[in-house]
Amino acid sequence: MALPEIYSPDDVAKHFGWSPRRLRSLARQIGACSIVGNKMILTEADVQLILEKSRPETVIAPPKATGSYAELVKLRSKGDANK
């Protein structure tokens, strides 16, 4: 069995231009690291997971409202009058 290639958080952060502190925090948060004593190591799979999780989430915008604010106020006041 071949040993996996391992990387230090400092090397990975430097390669991507990230803060080593932020990289370590994210790796711990998502469980994409191995920690022995006070040393953190990253495998290729860990680095891939960190990259995947660092992508922004896709946000679907709600549909835009139609009509004007004045129309909305008018409709609301009609609803209050019917009470």
Which tens digit of pLDDT belongs to each residue from 23-71? 999 999 999 999 999 999 999 999 999 999 998 888 777 766 666 777 7
Dihedral sign computed on CA atoms, order 6, 10, 15, 20? positive
The predicted structure's pLDDT at residue 63: 67
Confidence band of 12 (pLDDT split at 50, 70, 90): very high
The fold of the 1-56 domain, in CATH, is: Arc Repressor Mutant, subunit A (1.10.10)
DSSP H helices in 1-83: 9-16, 20-30, 44-53, 69-81
Residue 53, strand partner residues: none
Report the alpha-carbon angle 42-45-48, nearest 5. Answer: 95
Domain ranges of the chain: 1-56
Mean pLDDT computed over 14-24 = 96
CA end-to-end span of the chain: 77
Confidence band of 17 (pLDDT split at 50, 70, 90): very high
Do the beta carbons of residue 46 and residue 29 sit within 8 Å?
A: no
